[in-house]
Amino acid sequence: MTSTTPVAEKTALTVEKVGGRIGAVISGVRLDGDLDKATVAAVRDAILAHKVVFFRDQHHLDAASHEAFGRLLGEPVAHPTVPSVDGRYALGIDNEHGGRANQWHTDVTFVPAYPAFSILRAEVVPPYGGNTLWSNTAAAYAGLPEPLRVLADSLRGVHTNDYDYAAVRPDAPTTALEQHRKVFTSTTFKTEHPVVRVHPETGERTLILGNFLQKLSGLNGRDSRALIDLFQSHVERPENTVRWQWRAGDVAIWDNRATQHYGVDDSDDHERTLRRVTVDGDVPVGVDGRRSVLLAPESVPEPGYGIASGASTDGVLAEA
Ligand SMILES: [Fe+2]
């Protein structure tokens, strides 16, 4: 841990970096829907600066206060296909029901305006394993040699929720995983994003890759895969990542526009129950000013409650 830095005079809030390029622990804050504006601003600034921030001992949070806190960062949005566990916005991430996320990904990139922030709360953690890793995709871009930055700037890629699960999951799927997949892909989405987006709040350039990326536009399958693997290898460099060992009551908040993450599937059959609230993002804009385009379906279906992630699709439908 590095030195403690007070960032808000009126609060006891402190931010301690846990990695050189990504991750910080915030102390002195009790998360809820009534936080004062100065504290919310300090938390938001810390997320933008450190990409993922961690809070310990937030045992008081439940589905309602988790959502109420999320509302201070933006408009909560429902997952486009997976029903919530509370009838509102809480997504269950539960290893009993196929919710293992052991692939590097950015949440919900198969829709145009994928979430800006994800807020993940640990209810039950396993006695060992089940850590989550995050990577800083702005640092990954900045670390590319100049010719690769120029190449990345010019590329666009198609993201889908109906990717080839068998190819990326060599372990045979269990019944629970198959069931999860059926729900996850109940509507097939395809969205073309720039490979490099200009972050709407920080102005940084970040990479949009991860396991929903199916292929790069205009390239054949082999060239596409080789380039995706090349750029993704920079995202996965350990120097660009942080690894978090969960305790019950922990909350992690990440800037979903500047990170990828990976849930390590190594806690055997022990229970691991987390709850996620996401808040709405905006349509990515590439270095050349071109926005992301929704290729399918023609419109985003209404979720069971509230508005769907990616619902901000005005002007991003593919031209017929
Ligand atoms: Fe995720």
Our answer to whether residue 261 is catalytic in this structure is: yes
Antiparallel, parallel or unpaired: β 293-296 and 117-124: unpaired
To which H or E segment does residue 152 belong? helix 146-154
Question: Cis link prior to 173 (omega < 30° from 0)?
Answer: no
Beta bridge partners of 5: 15
Lowest mean per-residue pLDDT among 64-78, 202-216, 242-256, 290-304: 290-304
pLDDT at residue 183 greater than cutoff 60: yes
For every residue of 254-318, DSSP letters joined together read EETTSEEEEE---STT---EEEEEEE-----BBTTSPBPEEEESSSPPPPSSS-BTT---TT-BP
| Residue in 44, 180, 205, 261 annotated catalytic | 261
Give the pLDDT confidence of 152-172 residue by residue, as tens digits: 999 999 999 987 554 555 555
| Residue in 79, 105, 272, 275 annotated catalytic | 105
Tell me which residue has tokens 């640092």.
139
Our answer to whether residue 44 is catalytic in this structure is: no
Antiparallel, parallel or unpaired: β 24-27 and 52-55: parallel
pLDDT (mean) for 15-27: 98
Tell me which DSSP letter residue 234 carries.
Answer: H
Our answer to whether residue 180 is catalytic in this structure is: no
pLDDT (mean) for 254-283: 96
Antiparallel, parallel or unpaired: β 190-194 and 293-296: antiparallel
Contact 215, 157 (CB under 8 A): yes
Amino acid identity, position 222:
R
Task: Tell me, in angstroms, the distance from the centre of ligand 1 to residue 6's CA.
Answer: 30
Task: Tell me, in angstroms, the distance from the centre of ligand 1 to residue 261's CA.
Answer: 6
Task: Give the integer Cα–Cα distance in Å for 187 and 205.
Answer: 30
Give the pLDDT confidence of 95-153 residue by residue, as tens digits: 765 556 899 999 999 999 999 999 999 999 999 999 999 999 999 999 999 999 999 99
pLDDT at residue 314 greater than cutoff 90: no
Cα–Cα distances in angstroms (integers) from residue 94 to residues 73, 168, 272, in the given order = 25, 20, 6
| Residue in 94, 107, 250, 280 annotated catalytic | 107
pTM reported for the whole predicted model: 0.92
Task: Tell me, in angstroms, the distance from the centre of ligand 1 to residue 103's CA.
Answer: 9
Task: Tell me, in angstroms, the distance from the centre of ligand 1 to residue 107's CA.
Answer: 5
Give the pLDDT score at 309: 74
